[in-house]
Chains A and B, each alone.
Chain A
Amino acid sequence: MLSGLLDGIFSGISLGSVLLLAALGLAIVFGLMGVINMAHGELMMLGAYTTYMVQNALKGTPLFGIYIFIALIAAFIVTAIFGLVLERGVIRYLYGRPLETLLATWGVSLILQQLVRSVSWQLVTIVALFCLLFFGAMWIVARRTDFERARGWFLTIMIPLSAAAAIATGNVLGTLYKPAFTKLWFDARNVDVTAPKWLRGGFPIAGTQFSYARIFIIVLTIACVVGVYWFLNNTSWGLRIRSVTQNRTMSACLGIPTKKVDALTFALGSGLAGLAGCAVSLLGSVGPNTGQNYIVDTFMVVVVGGVGKLAGSIIAALAIGTANYLIGSNTLVDLTAPIKPLSDTFAFFSTISMAKVLVFALIIAFLQFRPGGLFPQKGRTVDA
């Protein structure tokens, strides 16, 4: 029974640490900009795929033993750049409209999922060529002083023109170099990341197997939390982020570049999603839908934790992870066996999917007492 409980707590914490890693970036971005990024799960997925690609690239080289660290860095950089593009390209036009942002980022997540399924050199060429033509032309034309007036015409002419040119070139190249050029990179199938040798297996304590991969994830999560905490509290940009989170207008008045802060924070949050994706890839195979499995739980962490403090996210993630595992496994059923009705109730909820039902009910009940989460942001506005 003790080993069962130990096992339950360990698994719960490791589940919670994955959630925390995923929720960390989301919570920071949500706290700062009030924006829920529905594509966060897909950014995780991109991180996982980056890990897969790094693993394939380093296979057979002496670096393979430590590829996971290289993959972590690569995943962070790739997703951070992607987040930056997303913020600059879409989200910055939608500040102050959180619901619209939610829909727009959902659109981005759909595109990303399909992108992973159908990415090939052909598609990459088409997109790159389109961007080159369109933004190149924009760069040239935008120097004219009367650009604002001709903007509508420019868009209606240049978008179809560059799209047609890019697609035509892509198709011609596709037929010329048929198999290599049009071959899909990943396909719709799931891909597997094999952990390096020193991460496989685990060590037993009191009859429970502690897997190294899960311990690695817990350590990674702790490192990330400490890193983010240090960044927010000890650097000048961290100070600016905290300041804008507390009061955007006042910060802007005091000369803090809020737009830069927004972009930087979004990139940071996306990069953290990439790290989470890297961690997730160690737990199982990775597919285009991987992100979807984590996203709702991650949102719940943000809702329960509140946006005021990092500690809220930590406690919420660990609580939700542990509760999910304890209810979903049979641990609680065994523990409460002496009390028959209680044990029967837990037995009814003791599958992974039914555990979510009970956890959601608990969250709703919790929000009746603390609508703003564990650590709500303090303020004097009417709706706080």
Chain B
Amino acid sequence: MILAHRSLEAGSLQLEIKLVDALIQSKPKARQRLLLEAGIVAAIALLLLFVIPPILVGSGQGFRVNLLGRYLALAIAALGIDLIWGFTGILSLGHGVFFALGGYSLAMFLLLQLPDGQLPDFFSPYGVTELPWLWQPFYSLPFTLFAIVFIPTIVAAILGYLVFRNRIRGVYFSILTQAALIVFFNFFNGQQKLINGTNGLKTDTATIFGQTVSSPPIQAFLYTLTILLLVGGYALSRWLTSGRSGRLLVAVRDDEARMRFSGYDPTMFKVLVFAISAGLAGIAGALYTVQSGIITPQAMNIAFSIEMVIWVAVGGRATIVGAILGTLIVNFAKSILSEQYAQIWYFFQGGLFLIVVTVLPGGILGWLREDGVRLVRSQINKRRPLQTYPSLEEDPDVQYERKNLTNRESDR
């Protein structure tokens, strides 16, 4: 108990030090850093837009541009996962639902780009002669754009409110989201007459602006749009996780009871961040669908939603860049490995889950920031940075105690 208390104190101490840090940083300096960050982001975006595609096409790997576009779309979903899991500590295993809702919304709009009175092809085998009411609103582009973001958001808000309100959390929440995933999967699979069931909706032959969706100009446009939205998602995530709101999110993760006792209502924050991350997943789903050419209920299988978490875990929890980086690394590893040896990929993926959780809990970026920096510093014989005081951090007895006596299972 005493030890638990001490570790809690150490945590709050760190928080206070960070607060002091924030105060010390004078305003102009903060603005300078912000500008620098914006510059780096813009440079990377330009690189992705104008440099990488020609290189890939030039080296005969043209199809990888399309893959890159898809994975960048997935990275938007990963940003959402990072917001709720990395920062807020809520593990959702049901983000496939929101991903699919976004994808289906856009697919329905695209399939309705037909001359008046015609129905999408797949309806005829089922003997459907009249457009179902569910499809009616998707004639309009503004509604579709609204639906892509807000249908997932609203679904998540309702589900989140019903669950968080009762203080259901941790593993229980994860299981419930997974059950919701299965429920939506079953629902979409079963409704042949409404949304073509298992076969899903094919978008690559649909036409928009007089051209098929899979034609190069449209795909180039979608690639650009993906990058722009990814930058937007990055900015949103940065804004949410910096400053007061960011500290509240981390507070929910680290000690929700304490936050409640301080007078905040964690429920609303959790619902809000869950809804925002669902909206991001919806956008990602729409962009992924149009670039891969089809959306099926398979977007809601259990494995895919858990994979999203592993992207973030590989890149680094609670680092926004890590989410994007992890998505790209894992997905390209997947596409390259499973081209060569399909079997190995599953072993590799399973191993990845184990390694990331046990050996590398901070992910790649976490490792670079902690151990990587320490390694370089120890090579050039510099003292490592201290978070508290030299008398605490460099005392071997204190360090031994911290290493061996805290966080034991009996302290829980």
Contacts and interface: CB of A to CB of B under 8 A. Distances in A.
Interface residues of B, number: 53
Interface of A: 30, 34, 36, 90, 93-96, 98-104, 106-111, 113-115, 117-118, 248-249, 252, 258-259, 292, 296, 299-300, 302-303, 351, 353-354, 356-357, 360, 363-364, 367-368, 371, 382-383
B74 to A, nearest CB: 18
Given A110-B349, A248-B409, A382-B257, 19 more contacts: A36-B174, A99-B85, A99-B91, A99-B171, A100-B361, A102-B91, A102-B171, A103-B353, A106-B353, A107-B354, A249-B412, A300-B175, A300-B179, A351-B190, A360-B180, A364-B163, A368-B162, A371-B167, A383-B169
B172 interface: yes
Interface string B148-192: 000000000001001101111111101110111011001101100
Contact of A299 (B163, B179, B349): B179
A383 B257 CA distance: 7
Interface in B356-380: 356-358, 361
B81 interface: no
B321 to A, nearest CB: 21
Interface in B290-322: 302-303, 306, 309-310, 313
A361 to B, nearest CB: 8
Nearest to A298: B175
Contacts of B163: 364, 367
A34 B358 contact: no
A304 to B, nearest CB: 11
A354 B162 CA distance: 21
Interface of B: 1, 85, 89, 91, 159, 162-163, 165-172, 174-176, 178-180, 182-183, 186-187, 189-190, 256-257, 302-303, 306, 309-310, 313, 343, 346-347, 349-354, 356-358, 361, 407, 409-412
Contacts of A99: 85, 89, 91, 170-171, 174
Contacts of A98: 170-171
The 5 closest A-B pairs by CB, nearest first: A107-B353, A111-B350, A353-B186, A371-B166, A114-B346
B353 A104 contact: yes
B125 to A, nearest CB: 19
Contacts of A248: 409-410, 412
A34 B171 CA distance: 8
Contacts of B302: 292, 296
Nearest to A354: B190
Contacts of B411: 249
B309 A103 contact: yes
Given A114-B347, A353-B186, A368-B162, A360 B412 contact: no
A30 B175 CA distance: 12
A34 B169 CA distance: 12
Nearest to B176: A303
B357 A367 contact: no
Contacts of A356: 182-183, 186
A94 B358 CA distance: 7
A302 to B, nearest CB: 8
Contact of B183 (A34, A94, A104, A360): A360
A296 B178 contact: yes
B286 to A, nearest CB: 24
A371 B351 contact: no
Given A299-B175, A356-B182, A117 B343 contact: yes
Contact of A249 (B170, B346, B410): B410
25 contacts: A90-B358, A96-B409, A99-B171, A100-B361, A103-B309, A104-B358, A110-B346, A110-B350, A111-B346, A118-B343, A249-B1, A252-B410, A292-B302, A296-B179, A296-B302, A299-B178, A354-B186, A356-B186, A360-B179, A363-B179, A367-B163, A368-B162, A368-B165, A382-B257, A383-B257
B166 A107 contact: no
Given A107-B350, A114-B350, A360-B179, A353 B189 contact: yes
B214 to A, nearest CB: 31
Highest count of chain B CB atoms <10 Å: which of A303, A353, A354: A353
Contacts of A259: 409
B175 A107 contact: no
